[in-house]
Structure 1
Protein backbone atom coordinates (compact mmCIF):
# COMPACT_ATOMS: atom_id res chain seq x y z
CA UNK A 1 0.00 0.00 0.00
CA UNK A 2 1.36 3.42 -0.97
CA UNK A 3 0.74 7.13 -0.54
CA UNK A 4 -1.38 8.47 -3.40
CA UNK A 5 -2.63 11.94 -4.30
CA UNK A 6 -5.69 12.31 -6.51
CA UNK A 7 -6.25 15.66 -8.23
CA UNK A 8 -9.73 16.34 -9.62
CA UNK A 9 -12.93 14.95 -8.15
CA UNK A 10 -15.46 15.17 -10.96
CA UNK A 11 -17.92 12.42 -11.86
CA UNK A 12 -14.95 10.21 -12.80
CA UNK A 13 -12.30 11.23 -10.30
CA UNK A 14 -14.46 11.07 -7.18
CA UNK A 15 -15.21 7.33 -7.44
CA UNK A 16 -11.76 6.52 -8.82
CA UNK A 17 -10.15 8.05 -5.76
CA UNK A 18 -12.61 6.09 -3.66
CA UNK A 19 -11.44 2.81 -5.16
CA UNK A 20 -7.86 3.70 -4.27
CA UNK A 21 -8.86 4.28 -0.66
CA UNK A 22 -10.86 1.04 -0.62
CA UNK A 23 -7.76 -0.80 -1.86
CA UNK A 24 -5.95 0.34 1.27
CA UNK A 25 -3.84 3.17 -0.12
CA UNK A 26 -3.34 6.34 1.90
CA UNK A 27 -5.08 8.92 -0.29
CA UNK A 28 -4.97 12.72 -0.21
CA UNK A 29 -7.25 14.57 -2.61
CA UNK A 30 -7.41 18.01 -4.15
CA UNK A 31 -10.32 19.60 -5.97
CA UNK A 32 -10.80 23.10 -7.32
CA UNK A 33 -13.95 23.30 -5.15
CA UNK A 34 -12.57 22.59 -1.66
CA UNK A 35 -15.92 21.47 -0.21
CA UNK A 36 -15.96 18.50 -2.59
CA UNK A 37 -12.51 17.41 -1.47
CA UNK A 38 -13.52 17.76 2.16
CA UNK A 39 -16.67 15.70 1.57
CA UNK A 40 -14.61 12.97 -0.14
CA UNK A 41 -12.10 12.91 2.71
CA UNK A 42 -14.87 12.57 5.29
CA UNK A 43 -16.55 9.74 3.35
CA UNK A 44 -13.37 7.78 2.69
CA UNK A 45 -11.28 8.47 5.80
CA UNK A 46 -8.74 10.28 3.64
CA UNK A 47 -7.20 13.73 3.58
CA UNK A 48 -8.00 16.89 1.63
CA UNK A 49 -5.43 19.51 0.64
CA UNK A 50 -5.81 23.16 -0.31
CA UNK A 51 -3.48 23.03 -3.34
CA UNK A 52 -2.04 20.38 -5.65
CA UNK A 53 1.41 21.13 -4.24
CA UNK A 54 0.25 20.33 -0.71
CA UNK A 55 -1.71 17.26 -1.82
CA UNK A 56 1.31 15.54 -3.36
CA UNK A 57 3.70 15.91 -0.42
CA UNK A 58 5.49 12.57 0.05
CA UNK A 59 3.15 10.85 -2.44
CA UNK A 60 4.54 7.90 -4.37
CA UNK A 61 1.89 8.30 -7.07
CA UNK A 62 -0.14 11.28 -8.21
CA UNK A 63 -3.27 10.64 -10.24
CA UNK A 64 -5.05 13.45 -12.11
CA UNK A 65 -8.45 13.57 -13.77
CA UNK A 66 -9.45 17.11 -14.72
CA UNK A 67 -11.17 18.79 -17.67
CA UNK A 68 -8.82 19.88 -20.44
CA UNK A 69 -5.30 20.98 -21.40
CA UNK A 70 -5.47 24.24 -19.45
CA UNK A 71 -6.84 22.52 -16.34
CA UNK A 72 -4.03 19.97 -16.47
CA UNK A 73 -1.36 22.65 -16.82
CA UNK A 74 -2.93 24.55 -13.91
CA UNK A 75 -2.66 21.63 -11.48
CA UNK A 76 0.83 20.61 -12.62
CA UNK A 77 2.74 23.86 -13.00
CA UNK A 78 3.51 26.90 -10.86
CA UNK A 79 4.36 27.29 -7.20
CA UNK A 80 1.12 25.61 -6.11
CA UNK A 81 1.25 22.93 -8.80
CA UNK A 82 1.88 19.24 -8.32
CA UNK A 83 5.34 19.24 -9.89
CA UNK A 84 6.49 21.77 -7.27
CA UNK A 85 5.74 19.30 -4.50
CA UNK A 86 6.47 15.87 -5.98
CA UNK A 87 9.54 13.98 -4.87
CA UNK A 88 12.14 12.50 -7.18
CA UNK A 89 11.24 9.02 -8.36
CA UNK A 90 7.49 9.50 -7.93
CA UNK A 91 5.03 8.83 -10.74
CA UNK A 92 2.43 11.20 -12.19
CA UNK A 93 -0.48 9.44 -13.92
CA UNK A 94 -2.75 11.61 -16.05
CA UNK A 95 -6.24 10.20 -16.60
CA UNK A 96 -7.48 13.37 -18.30
CA UNK A 97 -8.31 13.26 -22.01
CA UNK A 98 -6.02 15.96 -23.40
CA UNK A 99 -3.95 16.72 -26.47
CA UNK A 100 -0.72 14.96 -27.30
CA UNK A 101 0.89 18.42 -27.30
CA UNK A 102 0.29 19.09 -23.60
CA UNK A 103 1.26 15.50 -22.75
CA UNK A 104 4.61 15.96 -24.53
CA UNK A 105 5.14 19.27 -22.77
CA UNK A 106 4.42 17.97 -19.27
CA UNK A 107 6.29 14.70 -19.83
CA UNK A 108 9.44 16.70 -20.58
CA UNK A 109 8.94 19.01 -17.59
CA UNK A 110 8.43 16.05 -15.28
CA UNK A 111 11.51 14.28 -16.65
CA UNK A 112 13.64 17.34 -15.86
CA UNK A 113 12.59 16.89 -12.23
CA UNK A 114 13.16 13.10 -12.19
CA UNK A 115 9.40 12.50 -12.08
CA UNK A 116 7.91 9.73 -14.24
CA UNK A 117 4.85 10.66 -16.31
CA UNK A 118 2.26 8.23 -17.67
CA UNK A 119 -0.57 9.43 -19.92
CA UNK A 120 -3.47 7.14 -19.06
CA UNK A 121 -6.86 8.35 -20.35
CA UNK A 122 -9.85 6.19 -19.52
CA UNK A 123 -13.02 4.92 -21.17
CA UNK A 124 -16.12 3.47 -19.58
CA UNK A 125 -17.96 6.54 -18.40
CA UNK A 126 -19.28 7.36 -14.97
CA UNK A 127 -20.63 3.84 -14.49
CA UNK A 128 -17.21 2.37 -15.27
CA UNK A 129 -15.58 4.68 -12.73
CA UNK A 130 -18.14 3.85 -10.05
CA UNK A 131 -17.87 0.11 -10.67
CA UNK A 132 -14.07 0.05 -10.94
CA UNK A 133 -14.33 -1.25 -14.49
CA UNK A 134 -12.58 1.35 -16.65
CA UNK A 135 -10.50 0.70 -19.75
CA UNK A 136 -7.18 2.47 -19.25
CA UNK A 137 -4.87 3.11 -22.20
CA UNK A 138 -1.34 4.16 -21.31
CA UNK A 139 1.70 5.83 -22.78
CA UNK A 140 5.11 6.24 -21.18
CA UNK A 141 8.19 4.25 -20.36
CA UNK A 142 7.82 0.59 -19.52
CA UNK A 143 9.32 1.11 -16.07
CA UNK A 144 6.89 3.92 -15.19
CA UNK A 145 3.95 1.87 -16.43
CA UNK A 146 5.07 -1.18 -14.46
CA UNK A 147 5.08 0.92 -11.29
CA UNK A 148 1.71 2.54 -11.97
CA UNK A 149 -0.28 -0.45 -13.23
CA UNK A 150 -0.87 -2.11 -9.83
CA UNK A 151 -2.23 1.20 -8.49
CA UNK A 152 -4.45 1.82 -11.54
CA UNK A 153 -5.80 -1.72 -11.12
CA UNK A 154 -8.02 -0.46 -8.29
CA UNK A 155 -10.46 0.99 -10.85
CA UNK A 156 -9.53 -0.75 -14.10
CA UNK A 157 -11.20 -3.58 -15.96
CA UNK A 158 -8.28 -3.54 -18.37
CA UNK A 159 -5.07 -1.51 -18.34
CA UNK A 160 -2.49 -1.67 -21.12
CA UNK A 161 0.65 0.18 -22.15
CA UNK A 162 0.26 1.00 -25.83
CA UNK A 163 3.64 2.64 -26.34
CA UNK A 164 5.82 5.59 -25.40
CA UNK A 165 4.59 8.96 -24.17
CA UNK A 166 1.36 10.20 -25.89
CA UNK A 167 0.41 6.67 -27.03
CA UNK A 168 -2.33 6.58 -24.42
CA UNK A 169 -3.82 9.87 -25.57
CA UNK A 170 -3.70 8.86 -29.22
CA UNK A 171 -5.45 5.58 -28.35
CA UNK A 172 -8.16 7.56 -26.55
CA UNK A 173 -8.60 9.57 -29.75
CA UNK A 174 -9.21 6.28 -31.58
CA UNK A 175 -11.79 5.44 -28.92
CA UNK A 176 -13.66 8.72 -29.39
CA UNK A 177 -13.52 8.45 -33.19
CA UNK A 178 -15.12 5.01 -33.00
CA UNK A 179 -17.79 6.15 -30.53
CA UNK A 180 -18.79 9.15 -32.64
CA UNK A 181 -19.66 7.00 -35.63
CA UNK A 182 -21.37 4.34 -33.51
CA UNK A 183 -23.65 6.80 -31.71
CA UNK A 184 -24.65 8.48 -34.95
CA UNK A 185 -25.39 5.10 -36.54
CA UNK A 186 -27.45 4.01 -33.53
CA UNK A 187 -29.36 7.30 -33.56
CA UNK A 188 -30.19 6.93 -37.23
CA UNK A 189 -31.27 3.30 -36.75
CA UNK A 190 -33.65 4.18 -33.90
CA UNK A 191 -35.00 7.19 -35.79
CA UNK A 192 -35.53 5.06 -38.88
CA UNK A 193 -37.35 2.39 -36.83
CA UNK A 194 -39.67 4.98 -35.34
CA UNK A 195 -40.48 6.49 -38.73
CA UNK A 196 -41.19 3.01 -40.09
CA UNK A 197 -43.68 2.38 -37.28
CA UNK A 198 -41.58 -0.24 -35.48
CA UNK A 199 -41.06 -0.66 -31.75
CA UNK A 200 -37.46 0.39 -31.13
CA UNK A 201 -37.09 -2.01 -28.21
CA UNK A 202 -38.13 -4.97 -30.29
CA UNK A 203 -35.74 -3.93 -33.02
CA UNK A 204 -32.79 -3.56 -30.65
CA UNK A 205 -33.56 -6.86 -28.92
CA UNK A 206 -32.92 -8.60 -32.20
CA UNK A 207 -30.17 -6.59 -33.86
CA UNK A 208 -28.12 -6.21 -30.66
CA UNK A 209 -27.48 -9.96 -30.74
CA UNK A 210 -25.93 -9.76 -34.19
CA UNK A 211 -23.21 -7.78 -35.90
CA UNK A 212 -24.85 -4.43 -35.05
CA UNK A 213 -24.38 -4.90 -31.31
CA UNK A 214 -22.23 -2.43 -29.37
CA UNK A 215 -21.70 -0.95 -25.89
CA UNK A 216 -23.62 2.12 -27.01
CA UNK A 217 -26.57 0.04 -28.13
CA UNK A 218 -26.65 -2.04 -24.95
CA UNK A 219 -26.27 0.86 -22.53
CA UNK A 220 -27.97 3.80 -24.24
CA UNK A 221 -30.83 2.64 -26.49
CA UNK A 222 -33.47 2.56 -23.72
CA UNK A 223 -32.81 6.09 -22.48
CA UNK A 224 -32.57 7.32 -26.06
CA UNK A 225 -36.04 5.95 -26.81
CA UNK A 226 -37.33 7.57 -23.61
CA UNK A 227 -35.88 10.94 -24.68
CA UNK A 228 -33.67 11.03 -21.58
CA UNK A 229 -30.24 12.57 -22.00
CA UNK A 230 -29.42 13.88 -18.53
CA UNK A 231 -26.69 11.36 -17.78
CA UNK A 232 -23.37 10.09 -19.04
CA UNK A 233 -20.65 11.89 -21.01
CA UNK A 234 -21.67 15.42 -21.99
CA UNK A 235 -21.78 16.76 -25.54
CA UNK A 236 -19.51 19.68 -24.55
CA UNK A 237 -16.82 17.23 -23.48
CA UNK A 238 -17.26 15.09 -26.57
CA UNK A 239 -16.76 18.11 -28.80
CA UNK A 240 -13.60 18.96 -26.87
CA UNK A 241 -12.34 15.43 -27.50
CA UNK A 242 -13.33 15.38 -31.18
CA UNK A 243 -11.59 18.70 -31.76
CA UNK A 244 -8.42 17.11 -30.37
CA UNK A 245 -8.91 14.18 -32.76
CA UNK A 246 -9.47 16.42 -35.77
CA UNK A 247 -6.52 18.66 -34.95
CA UNK A 248 -4.24 15.66 -34.54
CA UNK A 249 -5.54 14.20 -37.79
CA UNK A 250 -4.44 17.37 -39.57
CA UNK A 251 -1.00 17.08 -37.99
CA UNK A 252 -0.44 13.45 -39.00
CA UNK A 253 -2.25 13.49 -42.35
CA UNK A 254 -5.16 11.24 -41.37
CA UNK A 255 -8.61 11.56 -42.95
CA UNK A 256 -11.61 11.57 -40.59
CA UNK A 257 -14.65 12.53 -42.70
CA UNK A 258 -17.27 10.83 -40.51
CA UNK A 259 -15.76 12.23 -37.31
CA UNK A 260 -15.78 15.74 -38.77
CA UNK A 261 -19.42 15.35 -39.78
CA UNK A 262 -20.54 14.01 -36.40
CA UNK A 263 -18.66 16.84 -34.69
CA UNK A 264 -20.87 19.27 -36.60
CA UNK A 265 -23.94 17.28 -35.56
CA UNK A 266 -22.88 17.72 -31.94
CA UNK A 267 -22.52 21.42 -32.64
CA UNK A 268 -26.17 21.38 -33.71
CA UNK A 269 -27.07 19.72 -30.39
CA UNK A 270 -25.22 22.47 -28.54
CA UNK A 271 -27.27 25.06 -30.44
CA UNK A 272 -30.38 23.24 -29.21
CA UNK A 273 -29.23 23.87 -25.64
CA UNK A 274 -27.90 20.34 -25.22
CA UNK A 275 -24.28 21.00 -24.32
CA UNK A 276 -24.69 19.12 -21.06
CA UNK A 277 -26.82 16.35 -22.54
CA UNK A 278 -25.37 12.87 -22.89
CA UNK A 279 -23.65 12.12 -26.21
CA UNK A 280 -26.53 9.83 -27.20
CA UNK A 281 -28.58 13.00 -27.70
CA UNK A 282 -27.63 12.85 -31.38
CA UNK A 283 -31.05 11.16 -31.68
CA UNK A 284 -32.68 14.32 -30.34
CA UNK A 285 -31.25 16.23 -33.30
CA UNK A 286 -33.00 13.83 -35.70
CA UNK A 287 -36.35 13.66 -33.91
CA UNK A 288 -36.50 17.44 -33.48
CA UNK A 289 -36.05 17.83 -37.20
CA UNK A 290 -39.21 15.80 -37.78
Structure 2
Protein backbone atom coordinates (compact mmCIF):
# COMPACT_ATOMS: atom_id res chain seq x y z
CA UNK A 1 0.00 0.00 0.00
CA UNK A 2 1.14 3.54 -0.75
CA UNK A 3 1.14 6.82 1.16
CA UNK A 4 -1.16 9.13 -0.81
CA UNK A 5 -1.99 12.81 -0.36
CA UNK A 6 -5.38 13.85 -1.68
CA UNK A 7 -6.15 17.52 -2.31
CA UNK A 8 -9.76 18.63 -2.64
CA UNK A 9 -12.69 17.21 -0.70
CA UNK A 10 -15.51 18.22 -3.00
CA UNK A 11 -18.23 15.81 -4.08
CA UNK A 12 -15.88 13.83 -6.34
CA UNK A 13 -12.67 14.22 -4.37
CA UNK A 14 -14.14 13.09 -1.05
CA UNK A 15 -15.53 9.94 -2.64
CA UNK A 16 -12.33 9.15 -4.48
CA UNK A 17 -10.33 9.68 -1.30
CA UNK A 18 -12.65 7.38 0.65
CA UNK A 19 -12.29 4.67 -1.98
CA UNK A 20 -8.49 4.87 -1.70
CA UNK A 21 -8.70 4.79 2.10
CA UNK A 22 -10.99 1.75 1.99
CA UNK A 23 -8.47 0.06 -0.32
CA UNK A 24 -5.93 0.23 2.51
CA UNK A 25 -3.76 3.17 1.46
CA UNK A 26 -2.22 5.52 4.01
CA UNK A 27 -4.08 8.72 3.22
CA UNK A 28 -3.37 12.40 3.98
CA UNK A 29 -6.16 14.82 3.06
CA UNK A 30 -6.42 18.57 2.55
CA UNK A 31 -9.21 20.93 1.66
CA UNK A 32 -9.46 24.72 1.64
CA UNK A 33 -12.40 24.36 4.05
CA UNK A 34 -10.82 22.04 6.64
CA UNK A 35 -14.04 20.61 8.06
CA UNK A 36 -14.72 18.90 4.72
CA UNK A 37 -11.86 16.57 5.68
CA UNK A 38 -13.45 15.52 8.98
CA UNK A 39 -15.32 12.42 7.73
CA UNK A 40 -12.12 11.08 6.16
CA UNK A 41 -10.08 11.83 9.28
CA UNK A 42 -12.67 10.05 11.41
CA UNK A 43 -12.34 7.07 9.05
CA UNK A 44 -8.56 6.92 9.49
CA UNK A 45 -7.00 9.53 7.22
CA UNK A 46 -4.61 12.25 8.44
CA UNK A 47 -5.41 15.92 7.92
CA UNK A 48 -2.94 18.52 6.63
CA UNK A 49 -2.99 22.30 6.99
CA UNK A 50 -1.68 23.08 3.49
CA UNK A 51 -1.17 21.25 0.19
CA UNK A 52 2.56 21.51 0.83
CA UNK A 53 2.20 19.73 4.17
CA UNK A 54 -0.01 17.05 2.63
CA UNK A 55 2.46 16.29 -0.16
CA UNK A 56 5.59 16.39 2.01
CA UNK A 57 5.73 12.70 2.86
CA UNK A 58 3.53 11.25 0.13
CA UNK A 59 4.57 8.85 -2.60
CA UNK A 60 1.66 10.05 -4.74
CA UNK A 61 -0.25 13.34 -4.50
CA UNK A 62 -3.63 13.53 -6.24
CA UNK A 63 -5.75 16.64 -6.71
CA UNK A 64 -9.43 16.94 -7.62
CA UNK A 65 -10.21 20.66 -7.77
CA UNK A 66 -12.75 22.98 -9.36
CA UNK A 67 -10.89 24.61 -12.27
CA UNK A 68 -7.59 25.65 -13.80
CA UNK A 69 -7.03 28.69 -11.61
CA UNK A 70 -7.64 26.81 -8.36
CA UNK A 71 -5.45 23.94 -9.53
CA UNK A 72 -2.58 26.27 -10.39
CA UNK A 73 -2.75 27.89 -6.95
CA UNK A 74 -2.95 24.62 -5.03
CA UNK A 75 0.01 23.11 -6.89
CA UNK A 76 2.24 26.12 -7.54
CA UNK A 77 1.91 28.58 -4.66
CA UNK A 78 5.52 29.15 -3.53
CA UNK A 79 4.63 29.00 0.17
CA UNK A 80 1.75 26.53 0.49
CA UNK A 81 1.60 24.74 -2.88
CA UNK A 82 1.97 20.98 -3.21
CA UNK A 83 4.97 21.25 -5.55
CA UNK A 84 6.85 23.09 -2.80
CA UNK A 85 6.59 20.06 -0.54
CA UNK A 86 6.66 17.21 -3.05
CA UNK A 87 9.59 14.78 -2.61
CA UNK A 88 11.62 14.23 -5.78
CA UNK A 89 10.80 10.52 -5.73
CA UNK A 90 7.02 11.03 -5.68
CA UNK A 91 4.43 11.57 -8.44
CA UNK A 92 2.02 14.50 -8.76
CA UNK A 93 -1.33 13.45 -10.27
CA UNK A 94 -3.78 16.09 -11.46
CA UNK A 95 -7.32 14.69 -11.79
CA UNK A 96 -9.20 18.00 -12.01
CA UNK A 97 -10.92 19.08 -15.22
CA UNK A 98 -8.63 21.88 -16.42
CA UNK A 99 -7.56 23.33 -19.74
CA UNK A 100 -4.95 21.54 -21.86
CA UNK A 101 -2.74 24.61 -21.52
CA UNK A 102 -3.12 24.48 -17.75
CA UNK A 103 -2.11 20.82 -17.66
CA UNK A 104 0.95 21.49 -19.82
CA UNK A 105 1.93 24.43 -17.60
CA UNK A 106 1.75 22.24 -14.50
CA UNK A 107 3.86 19.61 -16.21
CA UNK A 108 6.54 22.13 -17.17
CA UNK A 109 6.46 23.68 -13.71
CA UNK A 110 7.10 20.24 -12.23
CA UNK A 111 9.83 19.33 -14.75
CA UNK A 112 11.74 22.54 -14.05
CA UNK A 113 11.92 21.46 -10.42
CA UNK A 114 12.93 17.87 -11.13
CA UNK A 115 9.49 16.52 -10.20
CA UNK A 116 7.28 13.92 -11.90
CA UNK A 117 3.81 14.99 -13.08
CA UNK A 118 0.91 13.11 -14.65
CA UNK A 119 -2.47 14.47 -15.63
CA UNK A 120 -5.26 12.02 -14.93
CA UNK A 121 -8.74 13.52 -15.47
CA UNK A 122 -11.63 11.11 -15.15
CA UNK A 123 -14.90 10.33 -16.88
CA UNK A 124 -17.62 9.49 -14.37
CA UNK A 125 -19.62 11.08 -11.59
CA UNK A 126 -20.41 10.27 -7.97
CA UNK A 127 -21.54 6.63 -8.30
CA UNK A 128 -18.45 5.79 -10.37
CA UNK A 129 -16.17 7.50 -7.84
CA UNK A 130 -17.74 5.49 -5.03
CA UNK A 131 -17.70 2.17 -6.87
CA UNK A 132 -14.27 2.23 -8.52
CA UNK A 133 -15.67 2.65 -12.03
CA UNK A 134 -13.98 5.84 -13.26
CA UNK A 135 -12.33 6.00 -16.68
CA UNK A 136 -8.94 7.73 -16.60
CA UNK A 137 -7.31 9.72 -19.41
CA UNK A 138 -3.60 9.79 -18.58
CA UNK A 139 -1.33 12.46 -20.04
CA UNK A 140 2.42 12.35 -19.50
CA UNK A 141 5.29 9.88 -19.82
CA UNK A 142 4.26 6.29 -20.49
CA UNK A 143 6.49 5.07 -17.67
CA UNK A 144 4.76 7.41 -15.23
CA UNK A 145 1.37 6.11 -16.37
CA UNK A 146 2.57 2.57 -15.63
CA UNK A 147 3.92 3.64 -12.27
CA UNK A 148 0.57 5.00 -11.07
CA UNK A 149 -1.52 2.12 -12.45
CA UNK A 150 -1.81 0.16 -9.21
CA UNK A 151 -2.46 3.28 -7.15
CA UNK A 152 -5.38 4.31 -9.37
CA UNK A 153 -6.68 0.75 -9.78
CA UNK A 154 -9.19 0.91 -6.87
CA UNK A 155 -10.81 3.91 -8.58
CA UNK A 156 -10.63 2.79 -12.18
CA UNK A 157 -12.79 0.90 -14.61
CA UNK A 158 -10.16 1.71 -17.23
CA UNK A 159 -6.93 3.68 -17.58
CA UNK A 160 -6.00 5.06 -21.01
CA UNK A 161 -2.62 6.64 -21.68
CA UNK A 162 -3.56 9.16 -24.39
CA UNK A 163 -0.35 11.14 -24.90
CA UNK A 164 1.65 13.89 -23.31
CA UNK A 165 0.57 16.68 -20.95
CA UNK A 166 -2.61 18.35 -22.20
CA UNK A 167 -3.90 15.33 -24.10
CA UNK A 168 -5.73 13.99 -21.07
CA UNK A 169 -7.48 17.34 -20.65
CA UNK A 170 -8.46 17.34 -24.33
CA UNK A 171 -9.99 13.89 -23.96
CA UNK A 172 -11.89 14.96 -20.85
CA UNK A 173 -13.24 18.09 -22.55
CA UNK A 174 -14.26 16.06 -25.59
CA UNK A 175 -16.10 13.62 -23.34
CA UNK A 176 -17.91 16.31 -21.38
CA UNK A 177 -18.80 18.33 -24.47
CA UNK A 178 -20.34 15.24 -26.07
CA UNK A 179 -22.20 14.46 -22.86
CA UNK A 180 -23.48 18.01 -22.55
CA UNK A 181 -24.71 18.09 -26.14
CA UNK A 182 -26.63 14.86 -25.52
CA UNK A 183 -28.18 16.30 -22.35
CA UNK A 184 -29.15 19.47 -24.24
CA UNK A 185 -30.78 17.39 -26.99
CA UNK A 186 -32.84 15.38 -24.53
CA UNK A 187 -33.76 18.63 -22.77
CA UNK A 188 -35.52 19.59 -26.02
CA UNK A 189 -37.02 16.20 -26.88
CA UNK A 190 -38.59 15.37 -23.51
CA UNK A 191 -40.58 18.64 -23.28
CA UNK A 192 -41.59 18.28 -26.96
CA UNK A 193 -43.10 14.88 -26.21
CA UNK A 194 -44.73 16.17 -23.03
CA UNK A 195 -46.35 19.09 -24.82
CA UNK A 196 -47.69 16.71 -27.43
CA UNK A 197 -49.51 14.68 -24.79
CA UNK A 198 -47.31 11.59 -25.15
CA UNK A 199 -47.15 8.92 -22.48
CA UNK A 200 -43.45 9.43 -21.68
CA UNK A 201 -42.95 5.89 -20.40
CA UNK A 202 -44.26 4.49 -23.68
CA UNK A 203 -42.26 7.00 -25.71
CA UNK A 204 -38.99 6.18 -23.98
CA UNK A 205 -39.64 2.45 -24.21
CA UNK A 206 -40.08 2.83 -27.96
CA UNK A 207 -37.01 5.05 -28.32
CA UNK A 208 -34.92 2.59 -26.31
CA UNK A 209 -35.35 0.01 -29.09
CA UNK A 210 -33.81 2.33 -31.69
CA UNK A 211 -30.13 2.94 -32.55
CA UNK A 212 -30.24 6.44 -31.03
CA UNK A 213 -30.50 5.01 -27.50
CA UNK A 214 -27.09 5.43 -25.87
CA UNK A 215 -25.84 3.81 -22.63
CA UNK A 216 -26.37 7.03 -20.67
CA UNK A 217 -29.86 7.70 -22.09
CA UNK A 218 -31.71 5.87 -19.27
CA UNK A 219 -30.00 8.07 -16.68
CA UNK A 220 -30.48 11.33 -18.59
CA UNK A 221 -34.11 10.73 -19.54
CA UNK A 222 -35.00 9.12 -16.22
CA UNK A 223 -33.85 12.06 -14.11
CA UNK A 224 -35.62 14.48 -16.46
CA UNK A 225 -38.83 12.47 -16.35
CA UNK A 226 -38.77 12.25 -12.54
CA UNK A 227 -37.55 15.87 -12.16
CA UNK A 228 -34.82 14.48 -9.93
CA UNK A 229 -32.02 17.01 -10.20
CA UNK A 230 -29.97 15.96 -7.18
CA UNK A 231 -26.50 17.17 -8.14
CA UNK A 232 -24.02 14.65 -9.45
CA UNK A 233 -22.56 16.80 -12.23
CA UNK A 234 -23.94 20.32 -11.63
CA UNK A 235 -25.02 22.69 -14.38
CA UNK A 236 -22.40 25.28 -13.43
CA UNK A 237 -19.53 22.78 -13.61
CA UNK A 238 -20.41 21.43 -17.03
CA UNK A 239 -20.86 25.04 -18.18
CA UNK A 240 -17.23 25.64 -17.18
CA UNK A 241 -16.19 22.61 -19.22
CA UNK A 242 -18.09 23.94 -22.24
CA UNK A 243 -16.13 27.18 -21.99
CA UNK A 244 -12.84 25.27 -21.88
CA UNK A 245 -13.82 23.05 -24.81
CA UNK A 246 -14.93 25.94 -27.01
CA UNK A 247 -11.78 27.89 -26.20
CA UNK A 248 -9.83 24.83 -27.34
CA UNK A 249 -11.84 24.07 -30.49
CA UNK A 250 -13.00 27.52 -31.57
CA UNK A 251 -16.54 28.87 -31.33
CA UNK A 252 -17.12 28.88 -35.10
CA UNK A 253 -16.07 25.24 -35.37
CA UNK A 254 -18.19 23.97 -32.48
CA UNK A 255 -21.69 25.34 -33.13
CA UNK A 256 -23.53 22.50 -31.37
CA UNK A 257 -21.35 22.81 -28.29
CA UNK A 258 -21.83 26.58 -28.34
CA UNK A 259 -25.62 26.13 -28.54
CA UNK A 260 -25.53 23.70 -25.63
CA UNK A 261 -23.40 26.14 -23.65
CA UNK A 262 -26.05 28.84 -24.14
CA UNK A 263 -28.78 26.50 -22.88
CA UNK A 264 -26.76 25.68 -19.77
CA UNK A 265 -26.09 29.41 -19.23
CA UNK A 266 -29.83 30.06 -19.35
CA UNK A 267 -30.35 27.34 -16.75
CA UNK A 268 -27.76 28.96 -14.48
CA UNK A 269 -29.39 32.37 -14.90
CA UNK A 270 -32.74 30.79 -13.98
CA UNK A 271 -31.30 29.57 -10.68
CA UNK A 272 -30.51 25.96 -11.60
CA UNK A 273 -26.71 26.21 -11.52
CA UNK A 274 -26.25 24.00 -8.46
CA UNK A 275 -28.64 21.34 -9.72
CA UNK A 276 -27.68 18.28 -11.74
CA UNK A 277 -26.88 18.86 -15.42
CA UNK A 278 -30.18 17.27 -16.45
CA UNK A 279 -31.93 20.16 -14.72
CA UNK A 280 -31.50 22.15 -17.92
CA UNK A 281 -34.75 20.53 -19.09
CA UNK A 282 -36.57 22.96 -16.80
CA UNK A 283 -35.65 25.86 -19.09
CA UNK A 284 -37.59 24.26 -21.94
CA UNK A 285 -40.52 23.34 -19.69
CA UNK A 286 -41.06 26.93 -18.57
With the length of structure 1 as denominator, give the TM-score of the two structures.
0.94
Contact 2:186/2:220 (8 A) holds in 1: no
Contact 1:89/1:114 (8 A) holds in 2: no
Counterparts of 2:187 and 2:215, CA distance in 1:
14
Counterparts of 1:86 and 1:42, CA distance in 2:
25
Counterparts of 1:264 and 1:137, CA distance in 2:
27
Per the TM alignment, residue 26 of structure 1 is displaced from its structure 2 partner at its CA by: 0.7
Counterparts of 1:22 and 1:161, CA distance in 2:
26
After superposition, what is the alpha-carbon deviation per residue over 1:258-279, rounded to whole angstroms, capped at 9, x for unaligned?
A: 0001101111111111111211
Which position in structure 2 is the counterpart of 1:268? 266
Per the TM alignment, residue 200 of structure 1 is displaced from its structure 2 partner at its CA by: 1.4
Counterparts of 1:247 and 1:157, CA distance in 2:
29
Per the TM alignment, residue 227 of structure 1 is displaced from its structure 2 partner at its CA by: 2.1
Per the TM alignment, residue 282 of structure 1 is displaced from its structure 2 partner at its CA by: 2.2
Contact 2:60/2:93 (8 A) holds in 1: yes
Which position in structure 2 is the counterpart of 1:201? 201
Contact 2:235/2:277 (8 A) holds in 1: yes
Counterparts of 2:236 and 2:281, CA distance in 1:
16
Per the TM alignment, residue 228 of structure 1 is displaced from its structure 2 partner at its CA by: 2.5
The correspondence of residues 116-195 of structure 1 with structure 2, limited to 5 A, is 116-195=116-195
Contact 1:65/1:95 (8 A) holds in 2: yes
Which position in structure 2 is the counterpart of 1:42? 42
1:285 corresponds to 2:283:
yes
Q: How much is the aligned-residue C-alpha RMSD, in angstroms?
A: 1.4
The correspondence of residues 1-290 of structure 1 with structure 2, limited to 5 A, is 1-43=1-43, 45-77=44-76, 78-250=78-250, 255-288=253-286
Partner of 2:253, secondary structure, is coil
Structure 1: gaps of 5 or more residues:
none
Per the TM alignment, residue 206 of structure 1 is displaced from its structure 2 partner at its CA by: 2.7
Counterparts of 1:210 and 1:91, CA distance in 2:
46
Partner of 2:216, secondary structure, is helix
Per the TM alignment, residue 48 of structure 1 is displaced from its structure 2 partner at its CA by: 0.7
After superposition, what is the alpha-carbon deviation per residue over 1:107-126, rounded to whole angstroms, capped at 9, x for unaligned?
A: 01111222211111111111
Structure 2: gaps of 5 or more residues:
none
Contact 1:92/1:116 (8 A) holds in 2: yes
Counterparts of 1:110 and 1:254, CA distance in 2:
34
Contact 1:183/1:216 (8 A) holds in 2: no
Counterparts of 1:263 and 1:8, CA distance in 2:
26
State the aligned residue count: 285
Per the TM alignment, residue 97 of structure 1 is displaced from its structure 2 partner at its CA by: 0.2
Per the TM alignment, residue 254 of structure 1 is displaced from its structure 2 partner at its CA by: 7.6
